[in-house]
Structure 1
Amino acid sequence: MTSLVSRNPADPSDVVAEFPAPGAFAVADAVERARTAQTGWAAAGAAARSAALSSIASAVEAAAGELAGLAVREVGKPLAEARAEVARTVAIWRYYAQAPYEPTGAVHEPAAGAGLLLTRRRPHGVAGLITPWNFPLAIPTWKAAPALATGNTVVLKPAPEATASALRLAEIVRGALPDDVFTVVPGGSVEGSALVSAADVVSFTGSSATGRQVVRAATDRGIPVQAEMGGLNAAVVLPDADIDRAAAHIAAAIAGYAGQKCTATSRVIAVGTALDPLREALAEALRAVPVGDPADPATVCGPLISAPARDRVAAAAQGAQVLAEGAAADGPGWYAPPLLLDKVPAGHQLLCEEVFGPIAALLPAEDLDQAVRITNAVPYGLVTSVHTADLDAALHGLDRLDTGMIRLNAPSTGVDFHLPFGGAKSSAHGPREQGRAALDFYTAGRTYTLTPHGG
């Protein structure tokens, strides 16, 4: 039986947890048990589901310190970000605790004669969730909470690197739920494929290559599927922007959590005369980013999740000029200094692929039109940040950006969990996550025609 080993990225000799991969039959069994439990969970009613999700929020809040510490140790998340993730996790459970009371349909008049026409949304059944390691608490929550709120049961397959966090979250969640309503199945690709083959609705977050496989498999089965598959995000800086403020935002979006966010900035596009002052300000801001032990509250840029991830950052720096290099960290962990590249040639890896590390390219644009073309000239389209004091210019450019989310005078990173989340092109497939959009995804619409007996 294959073993899953979760290591501390700041100290790889520290084994956080080791688990046996259960295999495809265990996944199928978990789904069947969840399917049996789903009927009772859906029938429990709005009040019961709302109370359960509220109870989960309180339990997560009570364990906040423990959960943040586990995220620091297992995935190398800087302590300040880990605490913020736990707080967001609590808020998400509380937000969706109100969802069971939302309307599930509407009443319409028939075209002719007596009777009623009704629309109603009903749960799919078992939601199969496949989640990444970088947000080990928030991403499973923003998938599971709306699924549970709408009457589905959940089987979660977390990334192997975040197995301990997922299992601890499951212990907390299951304390408020009936048996088999929420199940975590550790594993890798075998278990993930088995879950896609058995669930009634699938939500995936991870790499583009794996996401495309998930989408194909789910589509072949004819079940609803959504996939969030990363980004190659740009920050566009116009000449009238507050350059120092923009540089601070962009440096944080490049190096925060070692760039291991799908919303991290990896391309910085300076428009016209913004180039020279931004080059200087951003280089200075990036060099000042605190790098080191993620358990230190002052740390912003901690370790990469693995040695191969660290090596990918070093490889991506080849073939361009290193304009600025951040601090190097001491210790045995998988650290990489934040990097800003200049004179990046066309076709360079950083302009084509998501590296998922603390590295970005600085690119010039003659005007806003060229900046929009550069932004759009990649396969991804998750988020773009635009920095300017001119709202007219911003609106002129924003409508032409091929990205799902646009942030004005703010970092590309950051998620408002009550709004739809998702990208365009290769960044996403299917309906949006989070907010009310999630309630629609985890339910299927039905249309009822009611006519009087004998009418």
Structure 2
Amino acid sequence: MSATSSHRAASSHRVTSYNPADPTDLVVEVPAAGAEGVTAAVARARAAQPGWLASGAAARSAALGKAADAIAGQAEELAELMLREVGKPLSEARGEVARAAAILRYYAQAPFAAGGAVHETAAGAGLLFTRRRPYGVAGLVTPWNFPLAIPVWKLAPALAVGNTAVLKPAPEATALGLRLAELMDLPADVLTVVPGGAEEGGALVGAADIVSFTGSTAVGSAVVRGCAERGVPVQAEMGGVNAAIVLPGADIEQAAAHLAYAIAGYAGQKCTATSRVIAVGDAYQPLREALAKALPAVEGGPVINEAARDRLAGAVSSALADGAVAVTGGQVPDRAGWFIEPTLLESVPQGHPLLGEEFFGPLAVLLPAADLDEAVALANSTRHTLSASVHTTELDVAMAAADRLAAGMVRINAPSSGVDFHLPFGGSGAASYGPREQGQAALDFYTSSRTVSLLPAGTL
């Protein structure tokens, strides 16, 4: 790791974040919280939680609505900071800020939702009912690629139902995490941001009452094990190796536009990005030609750091050396920052890591399939089945594919990289662990169900 790349990680003393388009531009430098600081933050959040819950539905709803207004009111500032800190193109950054505000407004209604159900007793007088109650302190470990949307879609439902939250953002998104907490302006210790890296993340997983993690498979697996040992609820989103299936008769130009964005939008740094394009039968050649034109036109920005750029370039070089062919891209441009061209490869040999691992960059492999059966088998050939897209004009074919794909999210005639924040989010296999995020599923995750039996005094 180079000196510049190492600066992006949190040390035991300082956290630094640099602009990936201009690695000499230091965005923020702050003290790392350290394990003791995280433990203290969790203790303060735990002390504040009963008061936050007791403040009532109206107060929690108003606080989340006010936070949404504050974020919307600073939309351009936040978008420009996102462009600078994590390299997200300004149009996508503006969209993410708007989504963060919308998520907060959505969950601002949740405190008023029914928190349980009333049931008849099996026999005799009395009352049976269930109540959903918060766990206490939610520990949230979030990545840099959606530095506002992912923290917000975790903390908003957690806070809405009465938990307090401690957020550990990725070091590369430290400035955005701190600014988010400032703008939300919640009561003391209801939301705390702890800057740091692995040390702080481990301490939070070891102290919180419920944990939500988004990041790599290796770290997510360790988070799951740590929570299982403590007996605390956990959800872990760990990325995907996502497929797009294009069938004969599909609108090839539209499919190519969708796929180009899904491959190279924000330099492919989305867990739902398309990394394998499966062309069925006669769709292969026209799709190949259309993607060769569409991909170079995507302005996705830089990848997050030098190590990521070098890993992608190395994967391309390795595949080419093994006989793969570059349909387009694959070069590292001669410019400042951590850029690599949007890349599409074909004839990648079986067993190459590009076919089964997440590389998190503007890089995809084009694969042929004889029919839908073979296409679905290829799409399901990885354990990281998070998202998939199917491109066809035939409804019955679309529904058949949706029923048979293992991915947790299937999008028809749309990019694989879209997410509807009010619906469940998650994959299967090694892509996800635990309950789904977003929508009602998130409210269920951040609460436990309790059954109460209320019988008349003196009942035997």
* TM-score, with structure 2 as normaliser: 0.95
Q: Deviations over 1:343-397 (max 9, x none)?
A: 0111111111100000000000000000000000012110000000111111112
Please show how residues 372-383 of structure 1 align to structure 2 within 5 Å: 372-383=376-387
Q: Residue 218 in 1 paired to residue 217 in 2?
A: no
- Structure 2 residue aligned with 1:335, among 335, 339, 364? 339
Q: Residue 268 in 1 paired to residue 277 in 2?
A: yes
Query: Residue type matched to 1:312 in 2?
Result: R
1:4 positional shift? 1.5
Residue 450 (structure 1) aligns with? 454
Residue 366 (structure 2) aligns with? 362
Residue 238 (structure 1) aligns with? 247
Residue 309 (structure 2) aligns with? 310
1:453 positional shift? 1.0
* SS of aligned partner of 1:399: helix
Q: Deviations over 1:280-319 (max 9, x none)?
A: 1111111222xxxxxxxxxx31001000100111112122
Q: Residue 278 in 1 paired to residue 282 in 2?
A: no
* SS of aligned partner of 2:33: coil
Please show how residues 47-86 of structure 1 align to structure 2 within 5 Å: 47-86=58-97
Mapped to 1, the partners of 2:311 and 2:250 lie a distance apart of 32
Query: Residue type matched to 1:310 in 2?
Result: R
Mapped to 2, the partners of 1:211 and 1:235 lie a distance apart of 25
* TM-score, with structure 1 as normaliser: 0.96
- Please tell me whether the aligned partners of residues 287 and 326 of structure 1 are also in contact (alpha carbons under 8 angstroms): no
Q: Deviations over 1:395-423 (max 9, x none)?
A: 11221111100000000011100000000
- Structure 1 residue aligned with 2:98, among 61, 67, 87? 87
Of 143-152 and 346-355, deviating more is 346-355
Mapped to 2, the partners of 1:330 and 1:172 lie a distance apart of 39
Residue 295 (structure 1) aligns with? none
1:329 positional shift? 5.3
Query: Residue type matched to 1:153 in 2?
Result: T
1:331 positional shift? 3.4
Q: After TM superposition, what 4+ stretches of structure 1 lie above 2 angstroms from structure 2?
A: 326-331
Mapped to 2, the partners of 1:288 and 1:222 lie a distance apart of 49
Residue 203 (structure 1) aligns with? 212
- Please tell me whether the aligned partners of residues 313 and 332 of structure 2 are also in contact (alpha carbons under 8 angstroms): no
Q: Residue 193 in 1 paired to residue 202 in 2?
A: yes
- Please tell me whether the aligned partners of residues 313 and 330 of structure 2 are also in contact (alpha carbons under 8 angstroms): no
Query: Residue type matched to 1:50 in 2?
Result: S
- Please tell me whether the aligned partners of residues 11 and 331 of structure 1 are also in contact (alpha carbons under 8 angstroms): no
Residue 3 (structure 2) aligns with? none
Residue 45 (structure 2) aligns with? 34
Mapped to 2, the partners of 1:266 and 1:64 lie a distance apart of 31
Q: Deviations over 1:251-301 (max 9, x none)?
A: 010010000000100000000111111111111111222xxxxxxxxxx31
Q: Residue 46 in 1 paired to residue 45 in 2?
A: no
Query: Residue type matched to 1:57 in 2?
Result: A
Query: Residue type matched to 1:221 in 2?
Result: R
Residue 17 (structure 2) aligns with? 6
* SS of aligned partner of 2:117: strand
Residue 293 (structure 1) aligns with? none
- Please tell me whether the aligned partners of residues 288 and 327 of structure 1 are also in contact (alpha carbons under 8 angstroms): no
Residue 6 (structure 2) aligns with? none
Residue 154 (structure 1) aligns with? 165
Residue 438 (structure 2) aligns with? 434
Any gaps of 5 or more consecutive residues in structure 2?
Answer: 1-11
Residue 404 (structure 1) aligns with? 408
* SS of aligned partner of 1:357: coil
Percent identity over the alignment is: 65
1:328 positional shift? 6.6
Any gaps of 5 or more consecutive residues in structure 1?
Answer: 290-299
Q: Deviations over 1:138-157 (max 9, x none)?
A: 10000000000000000000
- Structure 2 residue aligned with 1:179, among 176, 179, 188? 188
Residue 102 (structure 1) aligns with? 113
Mapped to 2, the partners of 1:366 and 1:312 lie a distance apart of 32
* SS of aligned partner of 2:404: coil
* SS of aligned partner of 2:105: helix
Mapped to 1, the partners of 2:13 and 2:369 lie a distance apart of 50
Give the direction of change, closer, same or farther, for the CA distance of 1:330–1:77 in structure 2 (3 Å limit): farther
- Please tell me whether the aligned partners of residues 96 and 146 of structure 1 are also in contact (alpha carbons under 8 angstroms): yes
1:327 positional shift? 8.6
Query: Residue type matched to 2:367 in 1?
Result: L
- Please tell me whether the aligned partners of residues 268 and 362 of structure 1 are also in contact (alpha carbons under 8 angstroms): yes
Query: Residue type matched to 2:389 in 1?
Result: S
- Structure 2 residue aligned with 1:389, among 388, 393, 396? 393
